[in-house]
Amino acid sequence: MADVNAPYRIKGETGEWEVVVGLEVHAQVVSNAKLFSGAATAFGAEPNTQVSLVDAAMPGMLPVPNRECIRQAVRTGLAIDAKINKWSRFDRKNYFYADLPQGYQISQLYHPLVGEGSVTVLLDEKDEASARTIGVERIHVEQDAGKLMHDQHPTMSYVDLNRSGVALMEIVSKPDLRSPAEAGAYLRKLRAILRYVGSCDGNMEEGSMRADVNVSVRRPGEQFGTRTETKNVNSVRFVQQVIEHEARRQIELLESGGTVVQETRLYDPDKGETRSLRSKEDAHDYRYFPDPDLLPLEIDDAFIEDCRASLPELPDAKRKRYETAGITAYNASVLTAEVETARWFDALLEAGAEPARAANWTVAELFGALNRRGETITTTGISPQEAAELLKLVDEGTLSGTLAKQVFEIMLETGDAPGKIVEERGLKQTSDTGAIDAEIDKILAANGDKVEQYKAGKVQLFGFFVGQTMKAMAGKANPGVVNERLKAKLG
Ligand code: ADP
Ligand code: MG
């Protein structure tokens, strides 16, 4: 396997290159209403059914900031240890587009709500040395635009304003990322944090989280090169493909004597390539100015402390807690990667399960079964309480490992509780030496030749006798007792 800690380099015709990446992540804020209007924000509604007069930019309408959207952005900032700016301001970013009836987007260019913070990622979950801390420059709050639909009719475009005015957080990273793998780890971690906090659902397929990917290349150790920005990339895999593709394109260009132009590009996932959309616009092209309809946003310490108090245990803290409880680094990282998994597993621990074994069982048995059955932790009928009951039956010696697997399969099929299954189907493990001895005697008698061989030194036959005994007892014999009795009888 490649060494994740080795610097990522791309070989060109004339030597090695380093790639430099900064991501601007747009995350749709979870809130019932839009940033400046009371219209609903649910995804997938009939077009233009969630549009207030403010979102449609009717003349004379005034925006009113939605406290919940501000609260969510502050909570997100606190979750990445960022500085919260008690004084921030909304600016108008002016441009014309058919999905933007106002003719400007209300955003925060000069005074964002959230300042510098950071996100720590692991390139390899089992290796603390693979940790990277990625700087976040700022998080500002802004309006989303509507959506144009070009594919319904050959000669017409339609506009859906449902998304118009929905609150977005724009989370701007520093140019600290140095490889597709780092960018992927950063996005996954950021998504996990947003979902733990509950400020964004992180659903990249539905577009509630999307990234603008800034890429440049340089010779290792030299100054940053000119970057391009590929807009609206909506999956982690695509972001990684954009970085690879853009880096190679820029390297080829530079090596053949060309220069990289700072421009905005689009990604075509079908072709796996980016293409130029427009030359890069600068802030002055947008004629930014403070929105005269809105007062500066002022928040106080009490509001910030309220936000802080509302935060749940975050992935890094949870992971540490799991590891301290004896869970392996790998299991801890798998169990904390998705908030739903972590919640389910926390409930299993609360139901009294022993952490290390519960983690092994969840990652191996439960996730294995869910994969096989095309289910997820949120759709499964297996409750943490029933899982705890199953693990307890093993601990008490009522079930052997083999029987526990059988009971678990029946739980998956029937939805019944493990105790009930054990009772009804008589699946209890037996340590009854009388019954076990009787079966062993039969097996030894029927396999005289193997007994001879065993006694003559072919000790690996022991496993054969164990297997035969377990089979004869329909898997219900206590394996410890079987081993002990066989040893006694075989001498
Ligand atoms: P702008 O306001 O013009 O979009 P910013 O300074 O806000 O520029 O940067 C936007 C994004 O581009 C940030 O995520 C930043 O990390 C990234 N970025 C800046 N310079 C570079 C570079 N040379 N290579 C790659 N990414 C860069
Ligand atoms: Mg930008």
10 forms beta bridges with 17
Using alpha carbons, select from 116, 120, 267 the residue that is nearest to residue 185. 120
Encode pLDDT of 316-351 as tens digits.
999 999 999 999 999 999 999 999 999 999 999 999
The residue-averaged pLDDT of 197-201 equals: 98
Q: Six-digit token pair at 297?
A: 């946003």
Return the minimum-mean-pLDDT range out of 7-21, 133-147, 347-361, 464-478.
464-478
Instruction: Give the Å distances, CA to CA, from 46 to 49, 160, 161, 162.
Output: 6, 9, 10, 8
pLDDT of 457 > 80? The answer is yes
Q: Which domains, and CATH codes, for the chain?
A: 14-306 (no CATH), 313-425 (no CATH), 433-489 (1.10.10.410)
* pTM, two decimal places: 0.89
The residue-averaged pLDDT of 222-240 equals: 96
pLDDT band, residue 480 (cuts 50/70/90): confident
Measured between alpha carbons, how far is 440 from 468 in angstroms, rounded to an integer?
A: 8
The residue-averaged pLDDT of 420-435 equals: 85
Measured between alpha carbons, how far is 283 from 489 in angstroms, rounded to an integer?
A: 87
Contact present, 38 and 52 (Cβ < 8 Å)? yes
Q: Which residues contact 424 (CB under 8 A, 6 or more apart)?
A: 416
The residue-averaged pLDDT of 442-446 equals: 93
Q: Six-digit token pair at 361?
A: 């069982």
Using alpha carbons, select from 141, 144, 140 the residue that is nearest to residue 164. 144
Contact present, 29 and 73 (Cβ < 8 Å)? yes
**Among the bound ligands, the one closest to the CA of 172:** 1
The residue-averaged pLDDT of 388-396 equals: 94
Q: Is 107 in the pocket of ligand 1 (CB under 6 A)?
A: no
Helical H segments across 256-338, by residue range: 301-309, 315-324, 329-336
Q: Is 236 in the pocket of ligand 1 (CB under 6 A)?
A: no
- Pairing type for strands 228-233 and 263-268 reads parallel
Contact present, 451 and 440 (Cβ < 8 Å)? no
Residue 39 CA from chain centroid, whole number: 29
Ligand 2 center–CA 375 separation, angstroms: 39
Contact present, 23 and 212 (Cβ < 8 Å)? yes
Rg (Cα) of the chain, in Å, rounded? 30
Contact present, 247 and 253 (Cβ < 8 Å)? no
Q: Is 404 in the pocket of ligand 1 (CB under 6 A)?
A: no
Nearest CA to ligand 1 atom 5: 172
Using alpha carbons, select from 172, 164, 143 the residue that is nearest to residue 69. 143
Q: Which residues contact 215 (CB under 8 A, 6 or more apart)?
A: 19, 20, 21, 227, 228, 230, 242, 243, 246, 247, 250
**Among the bound ligands, the one closest to the CA of 262:** 1
Phi/psi region, residue 244 (left: phi>0; alpha: psi -120 to 50; beta: rest), is: alpha
Return the minimum-mean-pLDDT range out of 67-81, 354-368, 383-397, 466-480.
466-480
Encode pLDDT of 150-193 as tens digits.
877 778 889 999 999 999 999 999 999 999 999 999 999 999 99
Q: Is 211 in the pocket of ligand 1 (CB under 6 A)?
A: no
Indicate the top mutation candidate among 26, 93, 214 to test ligand 1's pocket, ranked by most ligand atoms within 8 A of CB.
Answer: 214
Measured between alpha carbons, how far is 236 from 241 in angstroms, rounded to an integer?
A: 9
Q: Ligand 1, closest atom to CA 225?
A: 23
pLDDT band, residue 35 (cuts 50/70/90): very high
33 forms beta bridges with 40
**Among the bound ligands, the one closest to the CA of 25:** 1
**Among the bound ligands, the one closest to the CA of 281:** 1
Encode pLDDT of 102-118 as tens digits.
999 999 999 999 999 99
Measured between alpha carbons, how far is 413 from 406 in angstroms, rounded to an integer?
A: 11
pLDDT of residue 187: 98
Q: Is 172 in the pocket of ligand 1 (CB under 6 A)?
A: yes
Indicate the top mutation candidate among 140, 170, 218, 227 to test ligand 1's pocket, ranked by most ligand atoms within 8 A of CB.
Answer: 227
Q: Is 20 in the pocket of ligand 1 (CB under 6 A)?
A: yes
Using alpha carbons, select from 115, 117, 39 the residue that is nearest to residue 84. 115
Ligand 2 center–CA 311 separation, angstroms: 28
Q: Ligand 1, closest atom to CA 226?
A: 23
HSE-CB for 16 with a 13 A CA cutoff: 6
Encode pLDDT of 299-324 as tens digits.
999 999 999 999 999 999 999 999 99
Q: Is 112 in the pocket of ligand 1 (CB under 6 A)?
A: no
Coil, strand or helix at 430: strand
Ligand 2 center–CA 24 separation, angstroms: 7
Q: Ligand 1, closest atom to CA 282?
A: 3
174 forms beta bridges with none
Q: Taking all residues of the chain, what is their mean pLDDT, rounded to a whole number? A: 94
pLDDT of 254 > 90? The answer is yes
Contact present, 340 and 378 (Cβ < 8 Å)? yes
Using alpha carbons, select from 66, 64, 33 the residue that is nearest to residue 51. 33
Coil, strand or helix at 143: strand
Q: Six-digit token pair at 38?
A: 């009371």
pLDDT of residue 429: 79
pLDDT of 280 > 80? The answer is no
pLDDT band, residue 3 (cuts 50/70/90): confident
Contact present, 161 and 101 (Cβ < 8 Å)? yes
Q: Is 224 in the pocket of ligand 1 (CB under 6 A)?
A: yes
pLDDT of residue 1: 55
Q: Six-digit token pair at 182?
A: 């780092």
